Amino acid sequence: MNRSLKRAMDVVLALLGLIVGAPLMVLVALLIRLDSPGKAIFSQPRLGLNGRLFLMHKFRKFPDNWGTKGAAVTVTSDARMTRLGNVLERTKLDELPQLWNILIGEMSFVGPRPETERFKDLFTGEFARVHDYVPGIFGPNQVAFRNESYLYPPDQDPEVFYREQLFPQKARNDLDYFSRATVLSDAYWIVCGLWCSIVGAIDWSTLGRRAGKVFVADLLILELAWLGANILRFDGLPTRHLWDVYVIGTWLVPLVVLPVMILGGNYRGMVRHFAATDAIRLAVSVFVGWTIAYLLVLVAGERDASIGVGIIAVMLTLVMMGAARVIYRERFRRAINLKREAEVRQAHGDDPRSVVVLYGAGHRGLALASLLNHGFPEARVAGFLDDNDRELVGRSIAGYPILGSERDLDTVHAVHGIDQLWTTFEPHWFKYQRLRDWCRKNEVRLVVLPVTQPFLSLTTTGGGDASFSADREATSRRKPAERLQPATSLHSG
């Protein structure tokens, strides 16, 4: 390869990249500072030409004070990365400061990726020749391993896997290409690298596998919302010049709104677990996406087009997308519950489930009811007991009825046939004795959740419901023999 021509290409492209990309780099640096304290640029010694060290610059993806803790490689959804760091990792925008390394001759646009000193021992034997070439941003490996973070097995040390599996493959690829590289082939890999950086920002195969059906449904909903908004606004399909606006919107709206929803994380979660946080994320993404899309429609079509169409379209989109997700979630849950019930009946006969009543209708009780209902097919939550019966009795929480209070145990047991009574709080000593005696008399298993392991270690240090803190303090002052002893359950029968 003509090294002078390669160097001239590097200088010209680096200068052009720094000039054109300067506004974007300033914006990224500002966002990094807003996202987490510390410097925006991360500089690290890397192995360059002939194994000499140089400082390679990147936009910071980890907290500034992280240091060298953890593996020397980055895996998918690396816990060390900041919120913005995840975006920089996916888009490869963290590599932009390396244009300066290229300009001063420490790197090239096309070359082997420079390794850290931690992997210096790998460059022995035939692999030592990798350092005969100036390191770079693009190359065959950078394209082939565009999503390297997804390659690390979940049950192996990522650094060991890199040393034993990935590095040898990369080194052989580098030696094979750079021994016969030309300026034209380098230009080809620059184009391929840029394309992969842009297109690969979204993992399309994973997105299709995880949310392909939802994505297609959202596409149809956007088209229906756009059509419905126009029909509602104009009492039918638009005519004349407004028809051109409608046609533009049919292809422009999905091209804008769907990528915004992807970047907003609307397809990361599972629709079967669609919750309030997902609904908020969906609302924000739809609003932002439609705002951008409709502004582009106005620019590309007719500037005096009706703003009301855009407002109606946003509302229709939110209603239909939200309803579709809730319907899918409930259908999935019903199907799972029916399957589990069928399996239990087949194994144990009709209605074999243990009837559980939860004492305490607070946050703990609600979480516990959800856990038992969706995670344990042999349990059936009949409802809640709560001492605040004047406010809660006759009402329900998340579909579970408030059955009464302690005084209603006999009646509740007669109606529902309680098998287990779980308290979500630590009752005072006398209340505990009453519950224990009642459970023994009626052959009901009593479970005092806060004094079972491992919950005991989480509650004796001050956790638990505030309403029972005084009881716990009073209990702690009694003799050890009088206190509640940790136990999984109390059962008589």
Give the tens place of pLDDT for each residue, 174-198. 999 999 999 999 999 999 999 888 8
Residue where a domain stops, chosen among 176, 199, 222? 199
- Whether residue 493 lies inside any domain: the answer is no
- Average pLDDT of the residues in 99-109: 95
Higher pLDDT, 107 or 213: 107
Which pLDDT band holds residue 301 (cuts at 50, 70, 90)? Answer: low
Higher pLDDT, 391 or 157: 157
Residue 32 has pLDDT above 70, yes or no: yes
- Domain span including residue 87: 3-199
Number of domains in the chain: 3
Task: Reduce the DSSP state of residue 227 to 3 states and report it.
Answer: helix
- Whether residue 342 lies inside any domain: the answer is no
Residues 116 and 47 in one domain: yes
Q: Looking at this protein, which amino acid is placed at residue 380?
A: R
Question: Which pLDDT score is estimated for 377?
Answer: 76
Residue 232 has pLDDT above 80, yes or no: yes
Cα separation, 84 vs 35, whole angstroms: 7
- Whether residue 345 lies inside any domain: the answer is no
Residues 383 and 282 in one domain: no
CATH number of the domain that residue 435 is part of: 3.40.50.20
Higher pLDDT, 46 or 90: 46
Question: Which pLDDT score is estimated for 483?
Answer: 38
- Average pLDDT of the residues in 224-243: 86
Residue 405 has pLDDT above 70, yes or no: yes
Higher pLDDT, 341 or 79: 79
Question: Which pLDDT score is estimated for 464?
Answer: 40
Residues 114 and 223 in one domain: no
Residues 163 and 300 in one domain: no
- Whether residue 487 lies inside any domain: the answer is no
Judge whether 148 and 166 are in contact, CB under 8 Å: yes
Backbone angles phi, psi at 421, to 5 degrees: -120, 115
> 96 is written with which tokens?
């932009």
Residues 122 and 226 in one domain: no
Cα separation, 298 vs 315, whole angstroms: 19
Residues 123 and 180 in one domain: yes
Which pLDDT band holds residue 267 (cuts at 50, 70, 90)? Answer: confident
Please state, rounded to an integer, the average pLDDT across all residues of the chain: 84
- Whether residue 340 lies inside any domain: the answer is no
Residue where a domain stops, chosen among 199, 225, 259? 199
Cα separation, 206 vs 212, whole angstroms: 9
Please list, in sequence order, all residues whose beta carbon lies within 8 angstroms of the beta carbon of residue 13, skipping any fewer than 6 positions away.
102, 109, 190
Higher pLDDT, 78 or 323: 323
Cα separation, 446 vs 490, whole angstroms: 5
Q: Looking at this protein, which amino acid is placed at residue 333?
A: R
Of 25-29, 165-169, 349-353, 387-391, minimum mean pLDDT range? 349-353
Question: Which pLDDT score is estimated for 467?
Answer: 38
Residue 46 has pLDDT above 90, yes or no: yes
Q: Which of 51-65, 76-90, 478-492 has the highest mean pLDDT?
A: 51-65
How many whole angstroms from its chain centre is CA 335?
A: 25
Q: Which residue has the tokens 């106005």?
A: 298
Residues 252 and 184 in one domain: no
Q: Are strands 445-448 and 420-423 parallel, antiparallel or unpaired?
A: parallel
Closest CA to 112 of 122, 27, 104: 122
Judge whether 226 and 253 are in contact, CB under 8 Å: yes
Express as a percent the part of the chain with pLDDT over 90: 46
For residue range 432-452, list pLDDT tens digits in order. Answer: 999 999 999 999 999 998 888
Residues 56 and 181 in one domain: yes
Residues 210 and 175 in one domain: no
Which pLDDT band holds residue 344 (cuts at 50, 70, 90)? Answer: low
Question: Which pLDDT score is estimated for 341?
Answer: 64
Cα separation, 230 vs 445, whole angstroms: 62
> 360 is written with which tokens?
């305490």
Using the CB atoms, write b or e for 186-203: b if 16+ within 10 Å: beebbebbeebbeebbeb
Residues 122 and 135 in one domain: yes
Backbone angles phi, psi at 58, to 5 degrees: -145, 160
Closest CA to 47 of 123, 149, 99, 100: 123
Vertex 433: Cα angle to 427 and 434 (nearest 5)? 95
Residues 307 and 399 in one domain: no
Using the CB atoms, write b or e for 360-387: b if 16+ within 10 Å: bbbebbbebbeebbeeebebbbbbbbbb
Vertex 118: Cα angle to 116 and 124 (nearest 5)? 90
Question: Which pLDDT score is estimated for 465?
Answer: 40
Judge whether 61 and 89 are in contact, CB under 8 Å: yes
Judge whether 72 and 83 are in contact, CB under 8 Å: no
Residue 225 has pLDDT above 70, yes or no: yes
Residues 28 and 81 in one domain: yes
Question: Which pLDDT score is estimated for 395?
Answer: 81
Judge whether 138 and 76 are in contact, CB under 8 Å: no
Closest CA to 292 of 270, 264, 324: 264
- Whether residue 322 lies inside any domain: the answer is yes
Residue 18 has pLDDT above 60, yes or no: yes
Closest CA to 427 of 464, 376, 455, 400: 464
Question: Which pLDDT score is estimated for 177?
Answer: 94
- Whether residue 343 lies inside any domain: the answer is no
For residue range 160-171, list pLDDT tens digits in order. Answer: 999 999 999 999
Higher pLDDT, 460 or 112: 112
Residue where a domain stops, chosen among 298, 330, 362? 330
- Whether residue 341 lies inside any domain: the answer is no
For residue range 447-482, list pLDDT tens digits in order. Answer: 998 888 778 777 654 444 433 433 444 444 433 333
Which pLDDT band holds residue 350 (cuts at 50, 70, 90)? Answer: low
Question: Which pLDDT score is estimated for 302?
Answer: 61
